[in-house]
Structure 1
Amino acid sequence: MAIFLTESDVEKLLSMSDALAAVEYALRDFGNGDAQNQPRQRVRAPRGVLHVMPAGWFARGYMGYKAYTAFRGGARFYFYLFDSNTGEYLAIIAADKLGQMRTGAASGVATKFLARRDAKTAGIIGTGWQAESQLQAVCAARALEKVKCFSRDETRRAKFAEKMAARLNIPIEPVASAQDAVVESDIVIAITTAAQPVVNGEWLKAGAHVNAAGSNWTTRREVDSTAVKRAHAIFADSVAQAKIEAGDLSQAVSENVIGWHQVQELSALVSSRATGRIGDDDITLFKSCGIALEDVAVGALVYERARAQGIGIELPF
C-alpha cells in the first residue's frame, strides 16, 4: 500500500547532506542515460496556474511527478512516487520542504563542480525561506569563512544573518546593497522574486561562481547579460526547461550575447561528459530552473527512510 508523508515527516527524514548526495547521484545517472526528465508543464486557469513536473530515475526503480497550484491564496505542493518497474503507487509526499531542499541541493551540486576549490566567501541576494537551503547547500559544498547577505528589507536581512550564522556557525554580515553582497565574493547566490537583474556582471570578481536560482519565468531574470557574457562556462539543470523558463539565459540569447549551444547540462558535468571550470579566473554560472528529477531523487530517499522507520499514513490503494 502507498503511504502519505507530511511536511513534518519530510523535515525529520531529509538532511541537506543527504539531499546533495541524492541529487548528485540522480544527475549522474541522467547524464549516463539512466534517467529521464520532462520540463514543467503549466495549465493557466483564470485565477491561477497548475504546474506538473514528471521524471523517472530508472537506475533506482522510481518515477514520479510533482503537481502544485499557484493561486492568490498561495501554493500547494505534492509529490507522487511510483515504482518504475511495476507501476505500483508508492507514496504521496507533501512537497514544500522537499522542494526547498532539492532546489538548494542542485545549487550545492553545481557549486561543488564549478566553484573554485579554495572559495571562502559568498554573497547571497534574497533572504527568504528558499535562501536558507541555498546557503546551507553551498556551505556543504565549500568551507566558507564569511557570507554577506542582502535583501530590500533591512529587518529581514538582519534576522536572516543572525539565524543562519547560528545554524551554520560562520559569520554572516547583512549589507546595504546587492553590489556590496556581490563584490569580492567567490560564490554569488541569487534567490529572489525580482523581475529585473539583481546581479550586475561588472560586479563579479575574476573566478567567481554564480548560482541563479530564483526565477523560472522567461519574463524575469536575476543576472544581467553582462554576467552571462562574462561566464566562461554556463550550466543549467535542464537546457530544455531553461529555454522555456530561464529569462536569465533566454533574454541574453535574444540579445545575441550568447547562443543556446553555449549552455550545457549540469548532468553532463556531473557524469564527466562536459568540462566546467578550466582556470582559477574563470567565471562560472549555474541557472537553476528546478527539475522533476531532483524531486524524484529526494522523494525516493524520503520514501525509503520512511518505510525503514515505519513512518507515514497508509493509504487505501
Structure 2
Amino acid sequence: MPRILDDAVVDHLLPPATAAASVGTAFDLLAAGTAHDQPRERSAAGGMTLNVMSAIAPTLDAAVVKSYPVVRRGSSRASLITVLVYAHRTGQLRGLLQGDLLGKRRTAAASAVAARAMARPESATVCLFGTGFQAPAQVTALVEVLPELDAVVVVGRSAERAEATAGVLREAHPGLRVEAETDPARAVPRADVVVTATGAAEPLFDGGLLRPGTHVTAVGSNDARRRELDATVFRRAAHVVVDSVEVARRECGDLLANGFDPDAATAFAAVHAGRVPGRSAPDDITVFESHGLALQDLVCAVAVLDAADAAGLGAVVGPEAWPLLSHTTPTDPGGEIH
C-alpha cells in the first residue's frame, strides 16, 4: 500500500549525505543510459504556471512524476510540491511525498557532488548569493565535500536578509566564519567557490571579479529569460558543465541569454563517470549549471520510501480509504489509455 510522507519525515530520512549519494546514483544511471529523465514542462494560464517533470529508472523499479504550481498575484509563490512514486514493474502507486524539502536537499546535493568533482579540493571560502529557501542548504551540503571549507560570505541585496541568513548558518555550522555582505565586489574576489541561488533576472556580479581557480555553481536560472551570471564568466571559464544538455537547451538562461551554445557544454554525468575532467588545472575557472532533474527526485524519493517502509513511518493508505488503489485500468492492444 502506498505511503504518504510529509516534509518532517523527509527531513528525518534524507540527511545531506544520503541526498548526495542519491544524486550521485542518478548521474550514474544517466551515464550508463539505464534511466530516462523527462525535462520540465510548463503550462500557463490566468496567472498560474503548472510545472511537471518525470523520470523512469527500471533498475530501481521506480517511476516518478513531480508537479508544482506557481501562482502569481503581485508576488511569486510556489504551492505545495508533490512527488508521486510508482513501481516500474507493476505501475502501482508506491508513495506520495511532499517535495519541498526533498527538492531543497537534492538541489544542494547536486551542487555538492559537482563541487567535489570541479572545485579545487583545498577550497576554503564560499561566496553565497541568496537569502531564500535554498541558500543555507547549499552551504550545509558543501561542508560535506570540501574538507578545508572554513568561511562563508552571504551576499544579498538586503543587508537585513543577508545577516539573517548568515545567522542561520552560524547556528548550524559554528565552526565556520560567516559574514554578511551587500557588495559583490567585496565578496567574489575572496571566494574559492561561488554559489548563486537566487531568482535574479540580471547578472549578480561582474565575471571579471572571479579569481583564477574559482568554481561557480548556478542554481537559480531555470528560465531562458533570466540569468544570474554574465557573459564574462563564460568567456573566462575553462569548463562549463550542465546537469542535462537537453534541459539547458530549454531553460538555462545563463547560457542562452549570454550567447553560449548549450551543446558546447558538458553533461555532468560524463564528468561524474570520469569520462571527461571537470577541472584540468588549478587556475581553471569552472562552471556548473544546475536546473534540477526529476531523476534526482526519483532516487532521493526511493531512498526515503525504502527507509520509511523499514521504520514504519508516514501514513499508509489502504483500499478501504481509496478503492482505486486496487483498480487497474485496461489498455488497448497498443498499450494506450484513452
1:35 is displaced (CA, Å) by 1.5
CA contact (8 A) 1:26 1:57 kept: no
Q: What CA distance in whole angstroms lies between the structure 2 residues aligned with 1:34 and 1:181?
A: 42
CA contact (8 A) 1:130 1:191 kept: yes
1:288 is displaced (CA, Å) by 0.7
Q: What CA distance in whole angstroms lies between the structure 2 residues aligned with 1:76 and 1:67?
A: 9
Q: What CA distance in whole angstroms lies between the structure 1 residues aligned with 2:169 and 2:268?
A: 27
Residue 287 (structure 2) aligns with: 285
Q: What CA distance in whole angstroms lies between the structure 2 residues aligned with 1:304 and 1:171?
A: 37
Q: What CA distance in whole angstroms lies between the structure 1 residues aligned with 2:79 and 2:15?
A: 23
The aligned amino acid for 1:306 is A
Instruction: Report which stretch shifted further, 243-252 or 70-79.
Output: 70-79
Q: Does 1:192 align with 2:198?
A: yes
The aligned amino acid for 2:289 is K
Q: Does 1:312 align with 2:318?
A: no
The aligned amino acid for 1:126 is G
Q: What CA distance in whole angstroms lies between the structure 1 residues aligned with 2:226 and 2:249?
A: 13
CA contact (8 A) 2:158 2:182 kept: no
Instruction: Report which stretch shifted further, 132-141 or 208-217.
Output: 132-141
Residue 181 (structure 1) aligns with: 187
Q: Percent of aligned pairs with the same residue?
A: 33
1:59 is displaced (CA, Å) by 2.5
The aligned amino acid for 1:166 is E
Q: What CA distance in whole angstroms lies between the structure 2 residues aligned with 1:68 and 1:235?
A: 26
Q: Does 1:294 align with 2:300?
A: no
CA contact (8 A) 2:19 2:109 kept: yes
Q: What CA distance in whole angstroms lies between the structure 1 residues aligned with 2:206 and 2:289?
A: 15
Residue 266 (structure 1) aligns with: 268
The aligned amino acid for 2:152 is V
Q: Does 1:142 align with 2:146?
A: yes
The aligned amino acid for 1:272 is G
* 1:95-130 superposed Cα distances (whole Å, 9 cap, x missing partner): 011111111111111101100011111101112120
- The structure whose RCO (Cα within 8 Å, separation 6+) is larger is 1
Q: What CA distance in whole angstroms lies between the structure 1 residues aligned with 2:215 and 2:258?
A: 18
Q: Does 1:112 align with 2:119?
A: no
Q: 2:158 aligns with which of 128, 153, 162?
A: 153
Residue 242 (structure 2) aligns with: 236
Residue 172 (structure 2) aligns with: 167
Q: What CA distance in whole angstroms lies between the structure 2 residues aligned with 1:94 and 1:38?
A: 20
Q: What CA distance in whole angstroms lies between the structure 2 residues aligned with 1:199 and 1:248?
A: 13
Secondary structure at the residue paired with 2:235? helix
Residue 29 (structure 1) aligns with: 29
1:314 is displaced (CA, Å) by 1.3
Aligned length: 313
1:201 is displaced (CA, Å) by 1.0
1:252 is displaced (CA, Å) by 2.1
CA contact (8 A) 2:242 2:288 kept: yes
The aligned amino acid for 1:159 is A
Instruction: Report which stretch shifted further, 66-75 or 84-93.
Output: 66-75
* 1:195-219 superposed Cα distances (whole Å, 9 cap, x missing partner): 0000321010100000000121010
Secondary structure at the residue paired with 2:25? helix
CA contact (8 A) 1:31 1:273 kept: no
Q: Does 1:211 align with 2:211?
A: no
Q: What CA distance in whole angstroms lies between the structure 1 residues aligned with 2:293 and 2:173?
A: 27
CA contact (8 A) 1:125 1:181 kept: no
CA contact (8 A) 1:70 1:76 kept: no
Q: What CA distance in whole angstroms lies between the structure 2 residues aligned with 1:74 and 1:32?
A: 34
Q: Does 1:102 align with 2:106?
A: yes
Secondary structure at the residue paired with 2:186? helix
1:58 is displaced (CA, Å) by 2.5
Q: What CA distance in whole angstroms lies between the structure 2 residues aligned with 1:66 and 1:296?
A: 9
CA contact (8 A) 1:190 1:199 kept: no
The aligned amino acid for 2:222 is N
* TM-score of the two chains, using structure 1 as the length reference: 0.96
* TM-score of the two chains, using structure 2 as the length reference: 0.90
CA contact (8 A) 2:213 2:286 kept: yes
Which entry has the higher C-alpha Rg, 1 or 2? 2
Q: 2:93 aligns with which of 74, 89, 93?
A: 89
Question: Gapped runs of 5+ residues in structure 1?
Answer: none
Q: What CA distance in whole angstroms lies between the structure 2 residues aligned with 1:306 and 1:8?
A: 12
Residue 56 (structure 1) aligns with: 56
Residue 75 (structure 1) aligns with: 79
CA contact (8 A) 2:127 2:153 kept: yes
Q: What CA distance in whole angstroms lies between the structure 2 residues aligned with 1:176 and 1:4?
A: 41
Q: What CA distance in whole angstroms lies between the structure 2 residues aligned with 1:55 and 1:229?
A: 33
Residue 255 (structure 2) aligns with: 249
Q: What CA distance in whole angstroms lies between the structure 1 residues aligned with 2:204 and 2:294?
A: 27
* 1:140-189 superposed Cα distances (whole Å, 9 cap, x missing partner): 11020111111111111112112212212311111231222211200000
Secondary structure at the residue paired with 2:274? coil
